[in-house]
Amino acid sequence: MSPRLQFEGISKEFPAVRALSDVSFSVGAGEIHGLLGENGAGKSTLLRILSGVYRPTAGSVLIDGKPVTLNNPVAARAAGVAMIHQELQQVPRLSVAQNMFLGHPLTRGSIFVARREQERRAAEALAAIDPTIDPAAPLGSLKVAQRQIVEIGRALLDRARIVAMDEPTSSLTPSEFERLAEVIARLARDGVAVVYVSHKLDEVFGICQRATIMRDGVVVGSVDLAQVSEKAVVSMMVGRELAQEQHRSHASAEIRLSVRGLASPTKVHDVSFDLHRGEVLGIAGLVGSGRTELLRLLAGADRASSGAVEIDGKAVKLSSPRDAIAAGIGLVPEERKREGIVPLRSISNNMALASMGVFAPRGVIDHTRLKRVAAEKMKRVNLRPFLLDRPIRLFSGGNQQKAIIGRWLAAGTRILLFDEPTRGIDVGAKAEIYHLIEELAAEGHSVIVVSSELPEVIRLADRVLVMRDGTVAAELGRASLSEQAIAAHAIPQTEIEAGKAQGHRAGA
């Protein structure tokens, strides 16, 4: 029997770039197949070919052994391919059912949309995977995890034979992920071929049977995940062995930042801690536990309702980002595209944005000086390619992140707040960001790292605060640091009592 999905010698050339070169592999019916590779390896291009957005320059896609022409997204959908994007392509104001029928509303031959019937069929499709979702509810009222499930429901509705998922879990909590994993497993049991793209290797190992690893537009290999180690897969992805780094602490006894009883109107309650000079403080906790909100308070992006903050023993008021920057605090936000970069501006200009006063002491920007500092800071963070006048949007996520770090270095920031520092950044660049954070600490910067990836927290932090329901539930020193210890404090007690993480609401 021929495989459900087969790529045969797929190549894709763009002007000046060869994005894919002779890519071949296959996915059987009922198989969950991981697709791994660094950013720029060609995964997204391949998925775009599968979903009809791009046409391959050479090669063909076969479904159930028959070559199919996927000239546009409609054709791909008709051929049984459903694509679930990383950034969900949904309309929040429309209902769940309307979203599931988006683009081909059910009219039953009349000029009117049969809303009731849409909702009935949507409910039918959702019943199998998550009966708690109300098809008539506005999609915007659902959590991200449920929205993912709605997308899968839509694939069921379309009777998709192939479901491709691009980083579906990047913003899910562990228990939400488990729920999603169950749904994916159910899809596979029904004979759907699932192509699963993720940066998180543990997930891929957890739910996929086989995986194909890509690098620089070619397939490095397809492996049976039961027979290889994560380490082997990583070196296939990166093309070299990534050195395992030992943690080194640079924390001094000197207290730089002191937070007492800090609270926001809604999400943060009575948070107190100290941050030392040269220290990397990790903040762990589930999504929604108030970590991001705490960072935003410290960065002046949101206003605290009560509490006191001292820097070097002096009380500071943080009522705007300007205040925070003046006090020496800078935020490297989680959502780089939305809160970090000004896409059309160059690397230099993005870097200089927070320290314009320094570059324009007499009101006119000293471009010579700006260029010199940009060259220095971008060299420091190892920007690649080293093109300071190029718009930042043309750089990879990792290099955009480096530019944002450079922004704070140029502004003379002494306290750096990182929210999910390596979200959406590939393995190689990740290691560079880790290095950079350690070097900054070694130079005497104080760093706070909020992360959902426990290995990341453990790799970087000298000390970890675990947040739960808006407050600090535990403080763990290096000696007592483990994924189990963090998880035990991060998960609300009620959930532990309820047993296995079923339908938990900690994200609310």
Partner 1 sequence: MTDITQHTAARPRADFLHRFSVRDAGTLIGLVVILAVFGALVPGFFAERNLINILQQSSINACLALGMTLVIISGGIDLSVGPTAALSAVISASMLVAGVPFPLAIAAGFAIGLACGLLNGVLVAYVGLQPFIVTLGTLSTYRALALIYTGGNPVLGLPAGFRAIFNGSLFGLPLAVVIVAVVALIAWIILKKTPFGEYLLAVGGNEEAAYIAGVPIARTKIAAYMISGLLAALAAQILIGRLGAAEPILGNLWELDAIAAAAIGGASLMGGKGSVVGTILGAVILGSMRNGLTLMNVQSFYQLLATGLIILAAMLIDRVTRGRG
Helix (H, G, I), strand (E, B) or coil at 150: helix
Binding-site size, partner 1 (CB under 8 A):
40
Q: Name which of 177 and 408 has its Cβ closer to partner 1.
A: 408
Spatial neighbors of 43 by CB under 8 A, at least 6 apart, are: 35, 36, 37, 166, 197, 214
CA 43, distance to chain mean position in Å, is: 16
Q: Name which of 286 and 347 has its Cβ closer to partner 1.
A: 347
Q: Name which of 179 and 407 has its Cβ closer to partner 1.
A: 407
The stretch near partner 1 (CB under 8 A) out of 24-32, 188-196, 386-394, 453-461 is 386-394
Per-position x/- string for 325-364, each x denoting binding to partner 1 as judged by CB under 8 A, each - no binding: x-----x-x----xxxxxxxx---x--xxx-xx-xx--xx
Phi, psi angles (nearest 5°) of residue 73: -60, -30
- Restricting to residues 44-103, which ones interact with partner 1 according to CB under 8 A? none
Minimum CB separation of residue 410 from partner 1 in Å reads 11
The stretch near partner 1 (CB under 8 A) out of 183-191, 249-257, 308-316, 382-390 is 382-390
Minimum CB separation of residue 54 from partner 1 in Å reads 13
Minimum CB separation of residue 148 from partner 1 in Å reads 24
| Residue tagged 């937070």 (tokens) | 259
Q: Name which of 127 and 342 has its Cβ closer to partner 1.
A: 342
- Restricting to residues 387-446, which ones interact with partner 1 according to CB under 8 A? 388-389, 407, 411
- For the chain, how long is the longest CA-to-CA vector? 75
- Restricting to residues 448-477, which ones interact with partner 1 according to CB under 8 A? none
Helix (H, G, I), strand (E, B) or coil at 162: strand
Minimum CB separation of residue 371 from partner 1 in Å reads 6
Q: Which of 115, 269, 371, 384 touches partner 1 by CB under 8 A? A: 371
Cα–Cα distance, 154 to 187 (Å, whole number): 12
* 320: enclosing H helix or E strand: none
Establish if 324 lies at the interface with partner 1 (CB under 8 A). Answer: yes
Minimum CB separation of residue 52 from partner 1 in Å reads 17
- Restricting to residues 196-215, which ones interact with partner 1 according to CB under 8 A? none
Cα–Cα distance, 445 to 441 (Å, whole number): 5
Q: Name which of 232 and 360 has its Cβ closer to partner 1.
A: 360
Ramachandran class of 419: left when φ > 0, alpha when ψ lies in -120 to 50, beta otherwise = beta
Spatial neighbors of 460 by CB under 8 A, at least 6 apart, are: 247, 280, 282, 434, 437, 438, 449, 451
Q: Name which of 247 and 322 has its Cβ closer to partner 1.
A: 322
Cα–Cα distance, 237 to 204 (Å, whole number): 14
Spatial neighbors of 374 by CB under 8 A, at least 6 apart, are: 347, 348, 351, 352, 388, 406, 410
Minimum CB separation of residue 268 from partner 1 in Å reads 18
Q: Name which of 261 and 412 has its Cβ closer to partner 1.
A: 412
3-state helix, strand, coil in the chain (%, to 5): 35, 25, 40
Q: Name which of 159 and 367 has its Cβ closer to partner 1.
A: 367
Q: Which of 75, 114, 238, 365 touches partner 1 by CB under 8 A? A: 365
Cα–Cα distance, 51 to 163 (Å, whole number): 10
The stretch near partner 1 (CB under 8 A) out of 57-65, 83-91, 258-266, 385-393 is 385-393
Ramachandran class of 95: left when φ > 0, alpha when ψ lies in -120 to 50, beta otherwise = beta
Minimum CB separation of residue 337 from partner 1 in Å reads 8
Spatial neighbors of 451 by CB under 8 A, at least 6 apart, are: 282, 283, 284, 418, 420, 421, 422, 457, 460
Minimum CB separation of residue 330 from partner 1 in Å reads 9
Taking alpha carbons only, the member of 184, 195, 183, 186 closest to residue 222 is 195
- Restricting to residues 294-323, which ones interact with partner 1 according to CB under 8 A? 299, 301, 320-322
* 371: enclosing H helix or E strand: helix 367-380
Q: Name which of 55 and 379 has its Cβ closer to partner 1.
A: 379
**Residue 293: how many other CB atoms lie within 10 Å:** 20
The stretch near partner 1 (CB under 8 A) out of 83-91, 178-186, 268-276, 367-375 is 367-375
Q: Which residues of the chain form contacts with partner 1 (CB under 8 A)?
A: 299, 301, 320-322, 324-325, 331, 333, 338-345, 349, 352-354, 356-357, 359-360, 363-365, 367-368, 371-372, 375-376, 379, 386, 388-389, 407, 411
